[in-house]
Amino acid sequence: MKLQPLPRPGVAVGKHVLDLSQVYHLLEGLNKDEAKEVFTADTLNPFMARERNVWVTVRHSIRDLLSKENPKLRDNKELRETAIIPMETVKMHLPAKIGDYTDFYSSLEHASNVGKMFRPTSDPLLPNWKHLPVGYHGRASSVVVSGTDIHRPLGQTRPRDECPPVFGPSKRLDFELEVAFFVGGVSVDNDVNKLGHPIPISKADEHIFGIVLMNDWSARDIQKWEYVPLGPFLAKNFATTISPWVVPLLALEPFAVEPVKQDPTPLPYLKHDNDRNYDIELFVDLTPKGSHESTRIVQTNFKHMYWTMRQQLAHHSITGCNMRAGDLLASGTVSGPTPGSYGSLLELSWGGTKPLTLKDGSQRTFLEDGDQVTISGSCNGNKGIRIGFGSCSGLILPAVSFS
């Protein structure tokens, strides 16, 4: 059987991909017509929109189908050849049609570092920071899949405070190491929750489908000039890269850890007795133009985040904002307590004052054309359990000429 070259859902199985469009009839959790609709779709949105118990049942059914004891796939040579595809031959796509994208600012270390740089004589944290998950609405149309090249953005900057602004390519282009999650759950007219009806934090797990790695590219010089009084705009809207593999929240439970102690205690709508973070090791590697050797410049962990995914979702919807299956909510920069665990060049170079030296001898304060940034992550258990997140990579191209 010849496969049509169309996007379709798949599951990573070692160095192969299980094509769910070929085995949907063997999976439990949905009737055959529903399963066909969900697993021959060109995005995961139809699956994300199902109930959490469907996610659970399908996940267990896939694991059972792939087990050595199950003959349905094991003994069907023709189906195996059709449904199990070498990963190196697979082209990855955006996993969902993203209706809305929101970026939070949830790392205490990152917020403190930025505050120290920008407000050296004041409290690094603004008065609201420890009371609510600060966030802003991003641009969904420019969220791209790993491997997409990124053009350096153009915009207004003000290099010298005593001079008028200038126009041109950003000279302080940066990455931001982030983790993001997709919203899902029962949809009513595509809405996960009805307009005017918040998602209680106790129900958040029913609406967090899974997570991806993210690089929220940032033009720091454009941001510095434009962000007062309304926050990020052009400095963030030109590109956001995510990894194509969505790791279900269910898969992360063996790696759950106690969340960071929050002081003061959050208001009741943000308080969850069973809230948790996850022990996810995160890395950033930078490969300069003309080199095949990368330098690991960041090693950190998602468990350091102050505000959790459940709190982010509860806060986002507390006004009655209607969330939709496929909406993307991001953590903000993930930074740890030591310089090598900072999740951006802004912090690593401390605002451009402390250059990083790469393996080839070159130095960086911010990204140069031809640089490739690769984010990776994994969960590693002491019982041999390991979960990989794939990679989130992008190559910086020169700005597009403008006249």
Q: Across residues 324-338, what is the average pLDDT?
A: 97
pLDDT computed for residue 292 by the predictor: 87
pLDDT computed for residue 318 by the predictor: 98
Query: Per-residue pLDDT for 283 more than 80?
Result: yes
CATH 3.90.850.10 placement within the chain: 101-397
Radius of gyration of the chain (CA): 22
Could you tell me if 20 and 32 are in contact, meaning their C-beta atoms sit under 8 angstroms apart?
no
pLDDT computed for residue 4 by the predictor: 56
Percent of the chain topping pLDDT 70: 98
pLDDT computed for residue 191 by the predictor: 87
Question: Of residues 16, 110, 272, 316, which has the active-site annotation?
Answer: 110
pLDDT computed for residue 188 by the predictor: 66
Could you tell me if 244 and 394 are in contact, meaning their C-beta atoms sit under 8 angstroms apart?
no
Helices within 129-280 (DSSP H only): 220-226, 234-237
pLDDT computed for residue 2 by the predictor: 55
pLDDT computed for residue 246 by the predictor: 98
Q: Across residues 260-280, what is the average pLDDT?
A: 97
DSSP string, 97-111: --S-EEEE---HHHH
Q: Cβ of 98: how many Cβ atoms within 10 Å?
A: 23
- Closest by alpha carbon to 278, among 390, 379, 377, 201? 379
Mean pLDDT (the chain) is 95
Q: Is residue 110 flagged as an active site residue? A: yes
Element (H, E) at 368: none
308: amino acid identity, one letter? T
Query: Per-residue pLDDT for 90 more than 60?
Result: yes
Residue reference for tokens 């798949």:
10
pLDDT-derived band of residue 6, with 50, 70 and 90 as boundaries? confident
Q: The domain 10-89: what is its CATH number? A: 2.30.30.230
pLDDT (tens digit per residue) in 287-309: 999 898 999 999 999 999 999 99
pLDDT (tens digit per residue) in 16-55: 999 999 999 999 999 999 999 999 999 999 999 999 999 9
Could you tell me if 266 and 312 are in contact, meaning their C-beta atoms sit under 8 angstroms apart?
no
Structure tokens at 10: 């798949």
Q: Which residues contact 109 (CB under 8 A, 6 or more apart)?
A: 304, 335, 336, 337, 341, 342
194-231 CB burial, b ≥16 within 10 A, e <16: eeeebbbbebbbbbbbbbbbbbbbbbbbbbebbbeeeb
Query: How do beta strands 363-364 and 356-357 pair?
Result: antiparallel
Coil/strand/helix, residue 28: coil
Structure tokens at 95: 């996993």
pTM of the model as a whole = 0.96
Q: How far is CA 265 from CA 121, 200, 260, 273, in A?
A: 27, 17, 11, 12
**In the beta sheet, which residues pair with residue 182?**
210, 328
Query: How do beta strands 386-397 and 363-364 pair?
Result: unpaired
pLDDT computed for residue 252 by the predictor: 96
Compute the distance between CA of residue 107 and CA of residue 306 in angstroms, rounded to an integer. Answer: 5
Query: Per-residue pLDDT for 176 more than 90?
Result: yes
Q: Which residues contact 88 (CB under 8 A, 6 or more apart)?
A: 15
CATH 2.30.30.230 placement within the chain: 10-89
Report how far apart the first and last C-alpha atoms of the chain are (Å, whole number): 51
Structure tokens at 260: 């960071």
Query: Per-residue pLDDT for 403 more than 80?
Result: no
Structural domain 101-397, CATH architecture = Alpha-Beta Complex (3.90)
